[in-house]
Amino acid sequence: MKYDVDQYYEAVLGITREAGEIIKDGIARTKNVNTKLGSWDLVTQYDKWVEEVLVTRISEKFPSHKFIAEETNSEQKTTPVLTSEPTWIIDPIDGTTNFVHGFHHTCISIALSIEQEVVIGIVYNPILDQMFTAIKGHGAYLNNRVIQTSNVDELGKSLVYLESSFACIPSLRDTIMKRTEACITAAHGIRVLGSAALALCHVAMGVAEAYHIDGLQCWDVAAGALIVTEAGGIVMDSTGMFSKDLTSFYKWSYNLCGISNKYS
């Protein structure tokens, strides 16, 4: 079957902007905040509203398309099943803790998988009006401007993004603290952004040279991973491999690293 990826991209780009208005409206408002897996894993009514708009509007345009969406899957406690059919992988608000605190690094992350391979990646920060996009084989863009990963090839000259929130998980704490200490010693600097999707996009645009995080789901990184690779970077797990069919994202212990290709 032939799929019109360009049509899907143009339609969902507009829908993503529409959903972003909910985040812009809510960033400074009081939120109803609940926890899911722990204090590091928050959800608000805005997460659900954004997801509802995305799923409803995309379904209206493309009724046969399927969805793997964070809040729906979390509420139903279901394991995502990725088929060969066009499937939109959605994180309605990546960086919910940032959103709750009014910190402007928060975004919508949405990817399209066809035949178990991501072909569209969209990461939209409506607060800063940053639209990161990629179509497989056509490069990566920020607001329609081509972006590429950094040319820096030395760790001592590199800015490295990490995440600290998962150190709340006892099984991950020692590993994360040791890695953070090693990066503080070896890298030019480290940063904690609080959004996996945006951190990957910062690698894609050359702001950071590397990003590492433990404990992911597919909706956290599907879009950002495509944007990094289309910008010339590499995405891998802790074994040095990356599953193009996304199946390895379906376990909580998944580790991800996005880097400039100059390290390869």
pLDDT tens, position by position, 29-74: 877 777 766 655 677 889 999 999 999 999 999 999 999 988 777 6
Residues with a catalytic annotation lie at 70, 91, 93-94, 96, 220
Tell me the pLDDT of the chain averaged across its residues: 85
- Phi, psi (5° rounding) for residue 120? -135, 135
CATH code of 5-147, in short, is 3.30.540.10
CA 68/CA 24 separation, integer angstroms: 24
Higher local confidence (pLDDT), 234 or 107: 107
Residue of 194, 223, 17, 205 lying closest to 104 (CA atoms): 194
Is residue 16 within 8 Å of 24, Cβ to Cβ? Answer: no
**How many residues in the chain?**
264
pLDDT at 231 > cutoff 90: yes
**Backbone CA torsion sign across 63, 53, 199, 43:** negative
CA 108/CA 196 separation, integer angstroms: 11
- Summarize the confidence of residues 198-226 as an average pLDDT: 89
**The predicted structure's pLDDT at residue 74:** 66
CA 90/CA 122 separation, integer angstroms: 10
Q: Is pTM, for the whole model, over 0.85?
A: yes
- Phi, psi (5° rounding) for residue 219? -70, -20
Q: Spell out where the chain has E strands.
A: 33-35, 42-44, 66-69, 87-94, 107-114, 117-125, 130-135, 140-142, 145-147, 159-162, 189-192, 210-214, 234-236, 255-259
242 burial (CB, 10 Å; 0-12 / 13-18 / 19+) is middle
Is the CATH number of domain 155-263 1.10.10.10? Answer: no
Location of each CATH 3.30.540.10 domain in the chain? 5-147
- Summarize the confidence of residues 90-94 as an average pLDDT: 95
Higher local confidence (pLDDT), 163 or 4: 4
Q: Check the annotation: does 58 bind a ligand.
A: no
Q: Please, which residues have CB within 8 angstroms of residue 29's CB and are 6 or more apart in sequence?
A: none
Reported confidence tier of residue 249, pLDDT bands at 50, 70, 90: very low
- Summarize the confidence of residues 107-115 as an average pLDDT: 96
Q: Check the annotation: does 220 bind a ligand.
A: yes
The first and second tokens of residue 203, run together, are 């690698």
Higher local confidence (pLDDT), 187 or 216: 187
Percentage of the residues of the chain whose pLDDT score is greater than 90: 54
Q: Check the annotation: does 135 bind a ligand.
A: no
Hey, what amino acid is at 100?
Answer: V
Q: Hey, what's the torsion of the CAs at 49, 193, 211, 180, to 10 degrees?
A: -130
Sheet holding 210-214, edge to edge: 189-192, 159-162, 210-214, 255-259, 234-236
**The predicted structure's pLDDT at residue 139:** 98
Count of H-run helices and E-run strands, the chain: 7, 14
The region that residue 168 occupies, defined by phi over 0 for left and psi between -120 and 50 for alpha, beta otherwise, is alpha
**The predicted structure's pLDDT at residue 217:** 79
Look up residue 233 and give its DSSP letter.
-
